[in-house]
Structure 1
């Protein structure tokens, strides 16, 4: 007995996997939004402990809305760093969202009227959920649900953390000051796969730790950014100069036809053959 034919709706003539069901996309997006949004509580406590007012803390979450940059800013200010160094570190970490936006603009193809609003939600988590989808409709759904749930919950928990900071006391005693960087590292770790990426990450850690006791707060994160070009330059030097044969383009040889491959003696006609 032959096996039953597969469901035609599940088959793809190009061999591509079918898109995930909408409930599954919503479930995954909400899971990411809720899990990361709760860490806004740690930011509210840390920001209040660094000396920022309630209005300033809430304004950072409402307007900046990128956790790593927010923690870098208040962490540098709390350590006594200058506002310029703190803002420079936060700005550097936030530039990655611009590259996310370039990728998502081609994937989502949102109308021009909603792009300025959607740009506020271009962060690590919403980009990861959108890029993990297999079609544009699922990517739009995942991006929207992740961005909306995370934005609402992050701002709500930021407010609660800032208000309750006085009751909690020193955030360092609870370890909440490390919650933000820990979340960021947990999101970043799965993306470090190749040998070059691991080398850059290790060198960045060494540069940051080595410059921490020597430079003002907020500057070590800028020094750590030098790890990527250093590793790339070292990799090119390890490969050496151009190999023999490189740099000189040879014209491809044309295959000779059977008539061209014959010798002059073979191509002569009987009349031309000497007697």
Structure 2
């Protein structure tokens, strides 16, 4: 039986890292405001500046951090801990699908490099990396650079918001709340491949909206992700080989 040579690991270069870092620059104002808002909210919940900064540094998941504050309480008990774990799991469930999409790209990379890249993986860095890959690129430095470039800003803005949260309580006044959705729309546009490949996006969005209206809590995130995944699998099974 002929031996098959496994594909070579994707490159990881300094040039790619800088490309990813530069691609994340348009997000900096929005990330800074979001991080400051989290810092301010954490201060209101009784977290110290060190605790808020450690949360941003170790968790590095803005939406999950924000929502978890809603169930934050002291002293902690089993019910509060389970609530925080459930909320975090629901919001970050999308990371399972995101990780699956980049697994073939990261195959063969050293374990330590994979761990570092996944640690700084966020929605923005994933989208920057996916676009780079769709355009024919293979450099994993782009994926890592995009996420790593936002990480220190997220931590520093959390600390700043903890001490001066009143300055960013109304980001809509400056239109800064629109930077993130505009960025995602601009990055997704070149990935358009027609109506059929976009159908899972549509099903996911509609499902999430319906569940959000009918069911309290954050289950709509998982519902939208599952609906999009199932739709994608059904379309793939029906595609011509």
What is the TM-score of this pair, normalised by structure 2?
0.64
Aligned residues: 194
2:31 is the counterpart of 1:37: yes
CA distance 1:51–1:85, change in 2 (3 Å): same
Matches of 2:51 and 2:206, distance apart in 1: 38
Answer 1 or 2: higher relative contact order, Cα 8 Å, separation at least 6. 2
Equivalence for 2:122: 123
Q: Is the 8 A contact 2:37 2:161 kept in 1?
A: yes
Cα offset for 1:52? 2.0
| Structure label with greater radius of gyration | 1
Once residues 186 and 76 of structure 1 are traced to their aligned partners in structure 2, the CA distance between those partners, rounded to angstroms, is 30
1:89, 1:207 → 2: CA distance?
A: 18
Tell whether 2:101 aligns with 1:103. yes
- How far does the alpha carbon of each residue in 1:50-97 deviate from its partner, in whole angstroms, 9 at most, with x for none? 22222221121111101111111113338xx93421331112212222
**Structure 2 unaligned spans of 5+:** 1-14, 74-78, 189-197, 232-241
Aligned residue number for residue 131 of structure 2: 132
C-alpha RMSD over aligned residues: 3.9
Bigger proportion of residues as helix: 2
Determine the C-alpha separation between the residues in 2 that align with 1:25 and 1:87: 35
* TM-score for both structures, normalised by structure 1: 0.57
Distance in 1 of aligned mates of 2:42 and 2:178: 16
Gaps of 5+ in 1: 1-20, 212-219, 236-275
Q: Is the 8 A contact 2:27 2:179 kept in 1?
A: no
Q: Quote the residue 1:261 is aligned against.
A: none
Q: Within 5 Å, which residues of 2 pair with 1:66-85?
A: 66-77=61-72, 82-85=80-83
